[in-house]
Each structure stands twice: as structure tokens, then as C-alpha cells.
Structure 1
Amino acid sequence: MGRYSPRRFLPPQEHILTMNFSFASGDAVRAGGALLVIPLFDGDLGDTLPSALASAEKALEGKLRTAAAQEGFKAKADQSVSIHTLGRLESDRVLLLGLGPRAKFTPEVLRLAAGRAAKAAQKLKVADFTFALPSTEQPEWAVRATVEGLLLGTYRFDRYKSASKEEKSPPRATSVRLVLPEGAQKGPALEQALELGRRVAEATNWARDLVNEPANVVNPERLAQAAQEVAKEVGLKATIGGQRDIERLDMGMFLAVARGSVNEPRLIHVVYTPKNPKDAKRPPLALVGKAITFDSGGLSLKPSDSMVDMKTDMAGSAAVLGAMKVIGALKPPFPVHAFIGACENMPSGDAYRPGDILTSRLGKTVEVTNTDAEGRLVLGDILTWACEHKPSAIIDLATLTGACVVALGNYIVGAFGEHDATVEAVLEAARSAGEEFWRMPVTDLQKDALRSEVADMKNSGERWGGAINAALFLREFVGTTPWVHLDIAGPSQSPKERGYFNKGATGVGVRSLVEYVRQRTAEAANAPEEEAAAPVKPSKGAKAGKGKAPRA
């Protein structure tokens, strides 16, 4: 595979804020800052007040709760109220955040609340503020969730908007003091949680940038350059292949989809390898991301309105690369490989057609019935290639089907797979990371929908069960390798501002992939050495066609 000289392909990310965090103890009211943020549970406004609220209430002569009540604030989830202190506190304002019932509290509730606080601080043009952490059984999770929520909440994508200098560069919060609750002690565990939260949030914001950029900026070549930048930043190895490399690998489905565009495809392989020789020999974890940098639908052309957001059809690859930024720093005791096939799906005189029959790298033939079902074609060849590296498991992320959005809406990822242990491990990682995944069936009852009269299978079947049909198609290319397919078509974008979300790209999947690697790292540390290093048998479905896949 060829190599391309890396160069920075986007302007510096001034709009992605880097905050300076510090820990403080004692009275939050005396910690300073222009804004004092106090998260509260439903019921905290009663007779027994949390220490931060009690101190603020005393300084304001018992008027804080009265003012909050007048604004209808009851500490319910998603509620917040800002109250001016009129010079009676060191902070100009107190921001009360609702967390809802303590019985339903999760780190994600705090993460969303912290996102609201960050947005409020931006609107108030606050340069520094104090955040009183709520009392929880696991202060490390409270710290991480707060840091992630604050950094995710500051994100905005306005690089291309013309504005006055003052509007373009409004004051931003750059300094945050996290006041520890009573009984919590500053130490290595909290520092590590803070640093992990920072890394994950910054990587997620980086992924959001990639997705939000227009397709005339992020095309296959520039996505490949982004992968090289990630590798250079955290000490990974990136190998980039072009058209000829894809041809040598006999990726007939990938080549067909890419054929209609003047922008050549790119084959991206990013590798993390542990320095310990024994760990380096362990079977790798494979992460696969869909990377259609623009999807017009090809000759099965989408309606104009449906094309507007199709620059986001590479959100799966952005999540994989964002996760690799963190994984390279985490240094797990097993290799992690990222596999990405990047191209555009465009109509032209050379575009592939409905009725064409394609030969995949695996050797299976596919009748094209819809050129707008292109993502699964590219992923099929990339999954085959990934399986040839004999991974312990494969996780793919793809904005694959509108059917999954119909089924699960805009905020829930559809998770497909037949290897129960691997699927459950991914679901558990998502729960810990605060992302909503829901297991969907992979059933042979739908298999007839992909039956072809002239080839081994069709790329698209009937409308009903469309997300399942797509998963069944991908299953043909992974064989017996433990595999989880994540359909992120809905959650890859938020339709509105909510918590730490803005309207637009969310970076969904970054947190869950990082958490999955962290949990596997913990398992590997506790597993017997022989078991951890045992090789995985080659997948029955991963035998390649002509040629051997090069390794990065």
C-alpha cells in the first residue's frame, strides 16, 4: 500500500475549547469565579440542603430558593436557572442545575447537566467558573462525566460563518474549579478520571468536526490525511492505499461504489501495537468505520432534501478514528486495528448501475438492486479484509439504514450480532459510557429478502426489516469471527440542542469504543497469560479472493 505525506487539512480548531481544570475542597461559595454552578437532586430544595446550596442560601439571606421557586425550578432533570447574586457572593451568578430523582441518577444525567452549564457560561460570556460536584458513591465517575459534559457542551461548529471580530471570538470559559463533595479526597484516581474525561471529550469533538465539515473539504483523500494525523499524534502506524491497492485486493464491491466519483477512494489502516512482544502477538481488536464522504445515492439518486446531510455518511469512520486517538494513549495490552474504506457514491457515466453483478473480495457475487445501498458493499469488502488479520472481535460503526432510525429514533444506536458475549460486552460498555444502544435481531427469517436469481445475493431487499436485512448482508463477510454491527444512522446527528449536544454531529460511538477497550484491558489484566495470548482460529467466512491483504 502506498504512503501519502501527511499535512494538516483543516484550519486550527480554535472553536474546540481546551479548559484548565483544577480541584478544590471546602466551601464552594468561596472558591471564586464569575459563575457558581450547583447541581441539585429533586428534593435538595427541602429542609436539609446540600452544603454548597446551604452556603449560597446563607450568603443571599435565604432568598436563593425563593428566587428559584419563582422561576419554577424544582431540580427536575433538564431544568436550570441562573440567579444574579447582586454582589453578595464572590461569583456574579449562581446557576442551579436539575438532576432529577437521586434514584434515577446516572453519570449521563450529570454529563447532560454539565453540558447545559457550559452553554450557559458561554451565553453569559464567563471566563472562569466553579462547579460544585454532587455527592455520589463513585466520585471518579462524577469527575469524568462533569469534565466530558463541560467540554462537549462548549463545542460549536461556526468556522464558515461571517461575523464581526467580537462575535467571532466571544469570551469563553477557560478555567474551571471542581469543588469536591464532603468526604472525597483529591488523589491519583480523580486526576486520572479528569484526564480520561478530557481525552475522550476532545476526541469526540474532533470527530464531530470531521462529520460537520462539508464534503468539498473532507473527501476520501483528506479523511486519509486525518487518519495520518491521528497516528502521528499518539504514536500509531497508518498505512494508506489508493485505487491500485484496492484493485490488487480484489475489492470489487468497494471499487464499484467508488467508480462514479472523480475523487479517488482511499483504503485506511491504522494500527496500535503494544510494546510488550507477548502482548503484540495477541489477536487484535478490529474497528471498522463506514466512510462514504458524500452519498448522492448514485444512479438510484436521492431526493435533493435527503442529500443535504449526506456529508455525514462517514460518521462511523470519524468515531473509529476519534476512538483511536484515545486508545493510543491508553495503551491496552492487545493490538487494536482500524479499517476504513473511504469513497464517494456519485452518479456519472462510469457509475455502477442497478442490475450490475459485483464480485467481492470474499468471492461472493452480489446483484445490485439499489445503488443507494452502497455502504454495505464497501463494508463487506473491508470486513473481509479485517477478518484476514484474525481479530478476536470486530465492531463496525455505520450510518447504514434509515430503517434503523424509523425503529429506534434519533438517539438510540441499533446493535446487531450473534455472538452473545461480544454483543453484551459492547452494550455494557455503552451503558458505562452513557450512550444508548439497543440490541436488534439478526434472524434468518429475513434472509429471503436478499435472495437473488442471478447471483449469490442482492445488496438490497424489501423495505420491511431494512436494518436487519443490512445486518444480514454484512454477516456474510465475517464468518465465525465475533462481530457487532452498530447502526448509528440516527444518533450520528442531533436534530436539536440538548444537554451537551448541539444540532449536528454528535461523535456517537467514540465514548463506547473507548470504554469497551478499557473494559477489555481490565479483563486482560485478570486473565491467565496463556488464555489471553491464545490465537483465534481463522474465520470460515474470511478467506480472501486473489492476493493477500497487506498488513500495515
Structure 2
Amino acid sequence: MNFSFFSGELARASGEMLVIPLFEGETGEGSPGLLAQAHAALEARLLPAATQEGFKGKSEQTFVMHTLGKLEAERVLLLGLGARARFTPEVLRLTAGRAAKTAQRLKVRSLVFALPGGLDASATVRAAVEGLELGAYRFETYKSSAREEKNAPRLTTVKLALAEGEKTKELEQTVALAQRVAEATNWARDLINEPPNVINPERLARAAQEMARQSGLKASVGGRKEIERLKMGMFLAVARGSVNEPQLIHIEYTPKNARHAKQAPVALVGKAITFDSGGLSLKPTDSMVDMKTDMAGSAAVLGAMKVIAAMKPPFPVHAFIGACENMPSGTSYRPSDVLVSRSGKTVEVTNTDAEGRLVLGDIITWATEHKPAALIDLATLTGACMVALGHYLTGAFGDHDATVNEVLESARAAGEEMWRMPVTELQKDALRSEIADMKNSGERWGGATNAALFLKEFVGDTPWVHLDIAGPSVSPKERGYNGKGATGVGVRTLVEFVRRRAAQLEGSEATEAASAPTAPAPKARPARGGRARS
């Protein structure tokens, strides 16, 4: 989309639709200035018409009215934000997503979006831009009707109307960042929504390489021989049942500044089971239908790397991904097999459908060998986390409080809700094996914590956060900026985490430079053949 700022009377703003988000109670006397302008231009008919239809600005309420030539815009769209006291930027992001979906249904190509006043301008601009971009997303690659409507009108132009103040360079930079984040999230959604006969491990690796080349990142991809050389016994076992070869993916961002390049990297690890049948512990059909999305963690990591490359943080960022399929065949790994991990720990297999943690264990071990300052893994790991938190919350695990809190604060700022879950030694008995160092799956109770405890065995002393995105990786219905299908959850949080770390480091470097002692001025030298003057 093409975004720009608009200042002036809304009645004169050119665009096919005028969008005005409103808080509950703002449709009566003392309406906000932007709404009052539109109401006056429509000969005081807007608010009575909205009230007659029951619109009060409550959350998720919508009202559309034709302007009949009274405004430059053909329609006015009022959207409810709910109570101002409960407002967060995510509320506006979801509302902007609804605006984009309404524009699609009405075949609107351009709109004017009035930003609500009395709020942080940068936060509202970012939320609106991301919500509009995310809300306009559609995955219709394989629909004949979509191909026939290839040239149908699409939302391409948006003017942002500020309630107060004027555009600044900072707001323009905010728009640019929000667009990059939303576009990367939509790119991740595409990867997740593609069918598994298209996005297999090799195609995922190729997509990672293409992204890296376009973004100026270094990409390394290895196959089965490289995985064998690295002695990743758990990864190899999971991959054994599929005819599609496993892929080991490493994407690197390194700052050009030599001093910054020597900083400890941030490591991002994404689960990449491009299709999960459950292996010999075969899933029922209904549970298998959506298992093309079992690589959502890797898609989020790759999407975040697209943005990180443009942000250029003052420290390295690495992405580590092990991609394979979990399939049943004569060569599949079996329940009761004992596997040797890259770390040397042995694992008794009790359930071949607990495969993601096996691959992640070897990949996390490999990532920690790069001595990261922090490691974050994203994985659609357990149905148990969905049972606990539902479709819209990510479970966050980790025992390094500072890093966990940093991730939670980043998620809150990005509008991706997370809830901290326990990683307690009390559950460790569930993974105890009689014949190996541990089992890959324990009892049903505390399943999400058991999976996190398994991963923790491969982390060592690295500050680590595990994000179980099994619930929010796929939306079961249309909601705000999400349609039914992949959400790209995690991209925004990872970008915000890196952005905040970069700002913190740059701030500390600026402070050090300002407090550094000033070198004394050189003494004056006597002129040749004479005396120095005092």
C-alpha cells in the first residue's frame, strides 16, 4: 500500500471511503473534531443515522453510510474502539484490520483513515498501518475465482489524518517500519498457508535463501550429509521417514562495523516440520489436516530476519532452522528407539508425534555453540498449550527472568499477547527414562511444561525463551486483521525485541561517548627561531 499523511478538513479529503474509529460514548455531544467535521459536512445527518442503527462506538461495532456527494469520499465508515480506558494500540490494529476487510468487500481502492486523538501519535500510526496491511491480506493462490478477478479493485492508497499536530520525520519512519513488519508477516503467512506438496523442506530452504539474497543476509543451507556431520541424531531420526530430504538452514545478519560485529549474537530458532503426520504414532485425520502449519515458527523467524536486515541493529542476529517432514514409512523412527543427540544426551522415544522437540533439541544445541547473548525459539509445539491458553495467547517459558520479561514487554508493545508459563523441576520426573537420559514425551498432565523442560536440557547457560505458538499461529475464524488461516504470529515480537535491544545498546554507547574524558589540548610549540607567546 501507499501511505501518506493528510491535514485539513476531512470533507475535502480525496478517497473512496472515510474511516473514523470512535471510542464508546463519542457519538453524542462533544464529538471528536474529525467526526464533527464529517458530521457537519453531511448536514448533521451522520450521528443520528449511526445512533438509529445502534452504533455507540462499542468494540467491533461497524456503521457504513453513503455520503451522496456531500464529501469527496463516497462512504463514511465508523468503527467502534470500545472504552477509551481499556485502549491499547492492538485495539486500533484490530480495528484497522476490519477497515481493510470492509474496503475489500466494497471494492474500495483508496481510503482516508482518521487517527483517534489524545493518544501517542507514533503508537497509533504504527498500529493503523500494520492493521491495514495485515487486514488486506488474502491467500487465494489456488482459487479459480481469484484468478478470474485478478484485476479487481484492491486497496492500494491510504491517507492518514492526524487528529492533532503535523507529520514529522519520526512518524514517517514509523510508517516505514510498520509497513516492513506487516509485509514480512504477510510473507510468513504465505509460507505457512502454502500446501505441504509445495512447501517441503527443500522449498522452505530455497525461500530462505531467496529472502537472504534480497535482504543482504548470508545464508547457508546443508542437507543430510551436513546434518550427519554435525551428529544431529534426533533431527536425522525424525527426517528418516520421508522421501523429502531434510534441510539445515542458517541465516546471518552481521553489522558492517567491526566492533559491533564482535558482539554476541541474538539467536532465533524456528520449528520447521513442513508436514507432521505424527509418524508411526499417526495422528487422526482431523488433527492432521492443518499440519502444514507445523513450520509456522520457522516462517516467523525468517519473516523477522527480513525486517532485521533493514533495521541494521548494532549486533549480529542469527536464525537457525532444521526443516523436515514427520512421515510414516518402513524407514521411520519407532517408539522405543534410543537416539543420540548432538549434545551427547540420549533420548528414548515414547511418541513419534513429539518430534518437534527432538529436532529443536539438536538445533538449539547448534545455536548455543555460537555463544548467543540470548536465544528465542518459536514452535507450534504442543496441543497442551492450546488447551491451557486457547487460540490467541502464546505460552512463554524460560527461567532467565530478565530475558523472559524482555520478550514479554516486546510482545506487549507489538500487540502479540503472551502468558508466562512455568518451567518447573517438579515436572522433570515425567521425562525420566529407565534406559536413556530422558524420554521425549511424558504423561499427559503438564504437557506444555514437559516439552519446555525437554528443550531446556539443550540450552546450557544461554539466556533462553521458548515460545509455544501452537494456538495463535492459525486463526480459526476472521477476527480483526486476521482471516481464517495463518497469522504470522511472532514476527512482530521478534522485531520489537531486536529493536529494543538495539536502542538500548546505542543509548549506552552514546552515554559512554558523552562521558569519556576529553583529551587535553596540545601545548603550543615555539615558533622556529623564536619564543612561544603566552
In the superposition, the TM-score normalised over structure 1's length comes to 0.92
Q: Give, in angstroms, the shift of residue 531 of structure 1.
A: 10
Q: CA RMSD in A?
A: 1.3
Q: Which residue of 1 aligns with 2:79?
A: 97
Q: Give, in angstroms, the shift of residue 167 of structure 1.
A: 3.2
Please give the per-residue CA displacement for 1:21-46, whole angstroms capped at 9, x wherever unaligned: 11111212211111000111112112
Greater CA radius of gyration, 1 or 2? 2
What is the 5 A alignment of 1:263-274?
263-274=244-255
Please give the per-residue CA displacement for 1:162-211, whole angstroms capped at 9, x wherever unaligned: 127653442111111111112x2212101000000000000000000000
CA distance in 2, matches of 1:93, 1:235: 43
Q: Give, in angstroms, the shift of residue 80 of structure 1.
A: 1.3
2:371 is aligned, of 362, 383, 390, to 390
Q: Point out the more displaced range, 82-91 or 368-377.
A: 82-91
Name structure 2 gaps, 5 residues minimum. Answer: 514-534
Please give the per-residue CA displacement for 1:397-443, whole angstroms capped at 9, x wherever unaligned: 00000000000000000000000000000000000000010000000
Please give the per-residue CA displacement for 1:495-534, whole angstroms capped at 9, x wherever unaligned: 00011000000000000000000110111112359999xx
1:470 is aligned, of 440, 446, 451, to 451
2:183 is aligned, of 183, 196, 202, to 202
What is the 5 A alignment of 1:217-232?
217-232=198-213
CA contact (8 A) 1:29 1:52 kept: no
Q: Give, in angstroms, the shift of residue 136 of structure 1.
A: 3.5
Q: Which residue of 2 aligns with 1:546?
A: none
Amino acid at match of 2:283: K
1:525 pairs with 2:502: no
Q: Which residue of 1 aligns with 2:65?
A: 83
1:351 is aligned, of 332, 335, 354, to 332
1:69 pairs with 2:51: yes
**Identical counterparts, % of pairs:** 73
Amino acid at match of 1:412: L
1:513 pairs with 2:513: no
2:477 is aligned, of 496, 502, 505, to 496
1:334 is aligned, of 315, 319, 330, to 315
Q: Which has the higher contact order (CA 8 A, sep 6+)?
A: 1
1:253 pairs with 2:253: no
Q: Which residue of 1 aligns with 2:523?
A: none
1:27 pairs with 2:27: no
1:443 is aligned, of 424, 433, 443, to 424
Q: Which runs of 4+ in 1 moved over 3 A?
A: 164-169, 528-532
1:376 is aligned, of 346, 353, 357, to 357
What is the 5 A alignment of 1:133-282?
133-163=115-145, 167-182=149-164, 184-282=165-263
Amino acid at match of 1:191: E
CA distance in 2, matches of 1:186, 1:495: 38
CA contact (8 A) 1:29 1:36 kept: no
Q: Which residue of 2 aligns with 1:40?
A: 22
Change (3 A) 1:530 1:90: closer
Q: Point out the more displaced range, 384-393 or 36-45.
A: 36-45
Amino acid at match of 1:102: R
Equivalent residue of 1:163, what SS? helix
Amino acid at match of 2:144: S
In the superposition, the TM-score normalised over structure 2's length comes to 0.95
CA contact (8 A) 1:397 1:485 kept: yes
Q: Which residue of 2 aligns with 1:482?
A: 463
How many residue pairs match? The answer is: 513
Change (3 A) 1:165 1:244: closer
Please give the per-residue CA displacement for 1:296-350, whole angstroms capped at 9, x wherever unaligned: 0000000011110000000000000000000000000000000000000000000
CA distance in 2, matches of 1:423, 1:164: 43
Q: Give, in angstroms, the shift of residue 275 of structure 1.
A: 0.4
CA distance in 2, matches of 1:107, 1:437: 16
